Amino acid sequence: MSENKVFMDADEFKGIVSDIRNAANDLLLSEEPFGNVAALKTLASGSEIIETLMQVYRNSDIYRSEASRSLPKGLLTLCESMKNVDEAAVESINVERNIGGNKR
């Protein structure tokens, strides 16, 4: 059975997390589309469409906050945790030298 493994340099990982943080932080929806909702009011489902657009706009602030703060913090915590596990594994390995080798 094959195993799925991922190996990545910690600095590279932190760079990706930083890119995610910056991209999410830059996500700002404009209020400009709400200036053109008069046409939607003429449709039978226009008020529902307007309400849905308003919810998307309001929720975009929550998304931006979560994606630019909470997600990067969680990913960096994961990275540090993986590094700590690796360090503990390395420290638990004992290597004995010259066992079974030819001594001259």
Contacts of 14 (CB under 8 A, 6+ apart): 76, 79
- Domain containing residue 44: 10-84
Residue 71, domain member (yes or no) = yes
Does the pTM exceed 0.75? no
pLDDT computed for residue 100 by the predictor:
64
pLDDT computed for residue 35 by the predictor:
78
In order along its 104 residues, the chain shows pLDDT tens digits of 557 776 778 888 889 899 988 888 888 877 777 777 787 888 888 888 888 888 888 888 888 888 888 888 998 998 888 888 888 888 888 877 766 656 55
Residue 50, domain member (yes or no) = yes
pLDDT computed for residue 86 by the predictor:
85
pLDDT computed for residue 97 by the predictor:
72
Helices (H) and strands (E) in the chain, counts: 4, 0
Residue 31, domain member (yes or no) = yes
Q: Output Rg (C-alpha) for the chain, integer angstroms.
A: 26
Into how many domains does the chain fold?
A: 1
pLDDT computed for residue 61 by the predictor:
84
Give the span between the Cα atoms of 28 and 57, in whole angstroms.
Answer: 9
